[in-house]
């Protein structure tokens, strides 16, 4: 186990001894009755952390986004987001299946679109058109390479949403990475959005769980749709305890993951056949292109895997490597050495 460097995702982390102790000690109750004190504590803490009236614990980041979309939209509505957005690419068509919503994907820069692109995409009110209802900004943007949304870009998008009466949701699955990278507090971002979701099961290192936060009426609707989508859970304080532990112990240390990602990126950028600008690596996600001389991305990923370094080919020529709690600086050194071997062996 220990000689594998698993860079596939920051979801692969295992609960630490300290987190397992917090799980074992958690006070629990039936959360469908609203009786779980640890879940209630987590929801209150997250509402405060994110500067919103209320928050709801859900099993996954996908469900956080999907209940938010369902709480806001009706069938025939349109959701506007960057083409690299998780809800558009990686939630199994949830917006159309669960909410009857069509998506207007914008071609942004590494997951960040401009207010001009948004303004141009908003539909006039006309019987022919879907109703523009909701906008998602994903911070950090995963498929874009862990991109941090510039705060002024969020503010500009927010102002346009207010002008046009659109609900602005932030998919903050990795909001804490954005905060650590930018030195900003979560509320500096979330003051500009109507609702926000955040994952505990990514870099924060909890086994399961996400939060969605927003105005009380919105959270009441999310609560109903969580039940409808099958995401209401019972003595789930054992997971909320892991999430609380993660907020206490694993948020600031994300800086180590960012440093590891940066070091990996700088080394990879020097290798023949790999195209990567280290300046684009802002957080814990490293995305790079492999040139045809090395074979396809899948070929390269396979050769890396055979040598104990696990990554994901996210396209024909694209590879993603993600740093996290369970990857040490020494393992990054090993990964770099293996990459060197793999590009040389061609």
**Contact footprint for ligand PLP (CB under 6 A):** 60-62, 86, 138, 142, 171, 173, 199, 201-202, 210
> Which CB sits closer to ligand PLP, 43 or 62?
62
End-to-end CA distance of the chain: 27
Phi, psi of 109 (to 5 degrees): -105, 110
> Which CB sits closer to ligand PLP, 207 or 237?
207
Q: Which one, of 42, 82, 26, 81, lies nearest residue 212 by Cα? A: 42
- Angstrom CA distances, 192 to 46, 57, 108, 197, stand at 17, 22, 20, 14
Residue 96 CB, nearest approach to ligand PLP (Å)? 17
Q: Is 105 helix (H, G, I), strand (E, B) or coil?
A: strand
Please give the Cα distance from 205 to 185 (Å, whole number). Answer: 20
User: Is the omega angle on the peptide bond into residue 140 within 30 degrees of 0, that is, cis?
Assistant: yes
Residue 132 CB, nearest approach to ligand PLP (Å)? 22
Residue 28 CB, nearest approach to ligand PLP (Å)? 22
> Which CB sits closer to ligand PLP, 228 or 306?
228
Side-chain half-sphere CA neighbours of 54 within 13 A: 11
Residue listed under structure tokens 């996210």: 314
Residue 277 CB, nearest approach to ligand PLP (Å)? 22
> Which CB sits closer to ligand PLP, 146 or 237?
146
Q: Contact 168/205 with Cβ under 8 angstroms? A: no
* Inter-helix orientation angle 254-269/175-182, to 10°: 80
> Which CB sits closer to ligand PLP, 60 or 117?
60
Residue 199 CB, nearest approach to ligand PLP (Å)? 5
> Which CB sits closer to ligand PLP, 172 or 343?
172
**Structure-block tokens of residue 66:** 């999907």
Q: Is 195 helix (H, G, I), strand (E, B) or coil?
A: strand
Residue 266 CB, nearest approach to ligand PLP (Å)? 24
> Which CB sits closer to ligand PLP, 194 or 343?
194
In this chain, which residue has its C-beta nearest to ligand PLP? Answer: 61
Q: Contact 319/310 with Cβ under 8 angstroms? A: no
Residue 169 CB, nearest approach to ligand PLP (Å)? 11
Residue 129 CB, nearest approach to ligand PLP (Å)? 28
- 287 forms beta bridges with 320
> Which CB sits closer to ligand PLP, 146 or 274?
146
């Amino acid at each position: 186990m220990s000689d594998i460097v698993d860079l596939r995702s920051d979801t692969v982390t295992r609960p630490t001894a300290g987190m397992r102790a917090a799980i074992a000690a958690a006070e629990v109750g039936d959360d469908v009755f609203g009786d779980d004190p640890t879940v209630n504590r987590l929801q209150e803490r997250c509402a405060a952390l994110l500067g919103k009236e209320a928050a709801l614990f859900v099993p996954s980041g996908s469900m956080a986004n999907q209940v938010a979309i369902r709480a806001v939209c009706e069938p025939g509505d349109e959701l506007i987001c960057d083409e690299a957005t998780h809800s558009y690419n990686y939630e199994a068509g949830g917006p159309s299946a669960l909410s009857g919503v069509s998506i207007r994907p914008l071609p942004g820069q590494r997951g960040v679109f401009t207010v001009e692109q948004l303004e141009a995409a908003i539909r006039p009110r006309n019987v022919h058109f879907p109703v523009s209802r909701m906008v998602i900004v994903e911070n950090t943007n995963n498929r874009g390479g862990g991109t941090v949304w510039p705060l002024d870009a969020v503010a500009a998008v927010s102002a346009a949403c207010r002008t046009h009466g659109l609900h602005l949701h932030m998919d903050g699955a990795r909001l804490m990475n954005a905060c650590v990278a930018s030195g900003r507090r979560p509320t500096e971002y979330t003051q500009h959005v109507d609702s926000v979701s955040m994952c505990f099961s990514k870099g924060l290192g909890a086994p399961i769980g996400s939060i969605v936060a927003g105005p009380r009426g919105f959270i009441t609707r999310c609560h109903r749709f969580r039940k409808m989508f099958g995401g209401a859970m019972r003595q789930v304080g054992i997971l909320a305890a892991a999430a609380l532990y993660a907020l206490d112990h694993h948020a600031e240390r994300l800086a180590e993951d960012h440093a590891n990602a940066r070091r990996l990126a700088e080394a990879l950028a020097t290798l023949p056949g790999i195209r990567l600008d280290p300046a684009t690596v802002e957080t814990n996600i490293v995305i790079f292109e492999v040139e045809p001389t090395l074979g396809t991305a899948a070929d390269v990923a396979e050769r890396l895997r055979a040598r104990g370094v696990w990554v994901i080919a996210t396209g024909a020529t694209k590879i993603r490597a993600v740093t996290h709690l369970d990857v040490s600086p020494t393992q990054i050194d090993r990964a770099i050495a293996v990459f060197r071997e793999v590009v040389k062996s061609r």
